[in-house]
Amino acid sequence: MLVRYLLAALAAGLFVGILMTPVHYLKLVPLIEHAEIYERGGHGSAPTHEHRASLVSSADAHGLSGHEAGRVVLVHGPAAAEGEEGGASPFESRALGTLTANLVTGAGFALILGAVALLAGHRITLRTGALWGLAGFAAISLAPALGLPPELPAMPVADLAMRQTWWITTVALTAAGLYCLVLKRQPVVRAGGALLLVVPHLFAAPHPADLSSPIPPTLAAEFAVASLATGALFWVLLGLSLGAAMDRFVGTEA
């Protein structure tokens, strides 16, 4: 049964990763490319920016911070440049980068969501899939975004280690709080769960001392809203697909 469980999660994650790729192109990539104009001072071009846009859009949409996306870019940037020198068009480079990132994040988050449900003793079904997806969105994307909203290139950021520590702590406490609040019946445990949801926001997220940025505030706000909206769509689709896959491949054996 465990093998079927894993296969169902992988199939759901890969399927949603494919579905989300055109959504990112329509909603996120144009905003990032617009921001990169300000990053370059309004002129010039950089061969790796197109590939970078696809990777950053995927990372932000799934709840990862801008710094984490930047680390992915440092790994893939040279490969993107070599691909373009070999004759690949910018569109092909962006398409491959976006699709690859979405497949990896979709499969990874599907496995995590399925594992959490299995450990909690509540198998995900098609009827409950959307609720599980919304819980994942709340823990991975929404709660951290209250302190560290999705970022565009050229926006000021604080120290990476401090940001990652705050992000991981917020995700862990939010997930634990939702578990106590939703899946437990004892009033004391539920009250503790509600407290866990608030605790990370009592401590300010790390931000740089200098907040000046060439990015217009309206563009930054539009990107944050678009990232959260696409993130919510991703998690709902992931929960529904995972529930359908569990009903199909696992059935009543669980």
Q: Is residue 127 part of a domain?
A: yes
Instruction: State the virtual CA torsion across 190, 131, 145, 205 in degrees, nearest 10.
Output: 20
- Buried residues in 140-174 as b, exposed as e (16+ CB within 10 A): bbbbbbebbbbbbbbbebeeeeebbebbeebbebb
Domain membership of residue 169 (yes or no) is no
Does 209 or 243 have the greater pLDDT score?
Answer: 243
- Reported as a single tens digit per residue, the pLDDT across 60-81 is 655 564 434 433 332 333 333 3
Residue 94 covered by a domain: yes
Confirm whether 162 is domain-assigned.
no
Q: How many domains does the chain have?
A: 1
Range of the domain at 135: 2-154+213-253
Is residue 4 predicted with pLDDT exceeding 90? no
Average pLDDT in the chain: 82
In a domain, 190, yes or no: no
pLDDT band at residue 168 using 50, 70 and 90 as cut-offs: very high
For residue 77, being part of any structural domain is answered with: yes
Residue 200: inside a domain, yes or no? no
Q: Could you report the per-residue pLDDT of 121-139, keeping only the tens digit for each?
A: 888 999 999 999 999 999 9
User: pLDDT of 6-16, one tens digit each?
Assistant: 899 999 999 99
- Please tell me the predicted confidence (pLDDT) of residue 73: 34
Mean pLDDT on 85-95: 62
